[in-house]
Amino acid sequence: MTSPALQQAEAIGAVDGPLAGYHREWYVVRPQGELTRLGRVKIGEPREDALRFDRRYFASEDEVLLDLARLGVPRVPPVHRVSRSGTVFHGFIEGRTLASLSPRGQPVAPGHLRQISERFASLSRLRPGDLHARRLRNPLRRAPEPDGIPPRPTGDSEHRPVRSSAHFLRELLAFTREHAHRARLPRFGPLFARLGIPPDVLGPHSRLAAEAALLTDRPSCLLHGDLHRANLIVDPADALWTIDWELAAFGDPLYDLATHLHLMDYPPRQRSLVVAEWRQAVTAVLPGADAGLADDLPRYLGYKRAQSVFADVVRQAVAVGAAHGTPAWAEQLGRTAELVHDILVRAAEPLELADVPGPGAIEPAYAELCTAARHR
């Protein structure tokens, strides 16, 4: 069955082919007729097979991009609508991903680092009242306070930014606990147990919850939420464009920096430079954004390492399952065991893991998961 997005793409021009994003399946189109002047564009639809581990704040990426354009935020994809059909599409940013020029773990060119700092600064200028994009209801309503007393009711401010940085991280922890961990226990619970992940690892008495309570308050601003090398496009003029705004949100600016550092995996020397440049650029437009940075940045990084355990353990289970019964299965098992071991080592401290299993113990855990799945 032809997808609606592909049908819409074919209706406006020649389709170059699908482009798999993480959240959406995209079709790149060369428009014909009156739309030719726009150059290549892309039309997308949600991926049914996407594994989601992050909370979404806005109902529509398209609406966020329209707001950013209205507010003059530079180098974000334009959004267009065909009036007669209502088809919505994004401008296709011609260029190469930063990932293809500077792979993860490798240093980034100074000019690109400067533009990344400028991107953070441009987001730090934006407050909740600046965007008109519809907010999604928090699936957890409000995360309870550590003593079990719910936060004060806020009326129709359900979607306003967090009242404190501590509350912001508690909500992230609650979402990860419910949607990335507990919701996946029926299928992956035995695997989590084999990997030494405690059942209450993200609970109210966990190390991460205790660390969240110690956060310094910082002013809220718009966050990209997923600023990594594949979401940064270098155009022919060497300008850096930012794509994939699905996880944009309002919250603690230090979280966006921590997420960026976690995903980029800069070499140590350059990482320190990125933090210094972020501090200079962001505090110039959002005073107080760096309050408590020395103590709180490691806390957010600990959360990101913990979150990645649940995401990558499940993603690797899907990859192993897809390879099961093929000649590539043994190789996939070995690759998965090494990758998951590395992830667990990085997250051992924030998750309070008493013992991290080696690749030799992880490989049979995934093999048995596949065997159990076949006999269901």
CATH number at residue 63: 3.30.200
pLDDT (0 to 100) of residue 32: 84
Does 187 share its domain with 320? yes
Domain span including residue 22: 1-92
- Last residue within a domain, chosen from 65, 92, 119: 92
Calculate the alpha carbon distances from 44 to 70, 76, 226 in Å. 22, 16, 18
At residue 157, the pLDDT reads 35
The whole-angstrom separation of Cα 12 and Cα 43 is 10
Query: pLDDT below 70 — which residues of the chain?
Result: 1-2, 20-23, 48-50, 83-86, 139-163, 373-376
69 and 195 together in one domain: no
* Residue 129 DSSP label: G
Q: Report if residue 203 sits inside a domain.
A: yes
Closest CA to 44 of 19, 25, 23: 25
Q: DSSP per residue over 263-284, as a string?
A: HH---HHHHHHHHHHHHHHHHT
Question: Do both 74 and 193 map to the same domain?
Answer: no
The reported pTM is 0.89
Predicted confidence at residue 146, as pLDDT, reads: 36
Q: What token pair was written down for 147?
A: 């003593």
For residues 207 and 316, state if they share a domain: yes
* CA 218/CA 296 separation, integer angstroms: 11
Q: What is the pLDDT of residue 160?
A: 43
DSSP string, 28-44: EEEE-GGGGGG-SEEEE
Q: How far apart are CA 225 and CA 247, in angstroms?
A: 5
Same domain, 320 and 187: yes
- pLDDT, one tens digit per residue, over 212-232 is 999 999 999 999 999 999 999
Helix and strand counts by DSSP (H, E) for the chain: 12, 10
In a domain, 356, yes or no: yes
Domain count, the chain: 2
Please give the pLDDT value at position 75: 98
Show which of 92, 121, 151 is a domain's final residue.
92
- Write down the pLDDT at residue 6: 80
**At which of 57, 74, 92 does a domain end?**
92
Q: Which two tokens stand for residue 250?
A: 């309002």
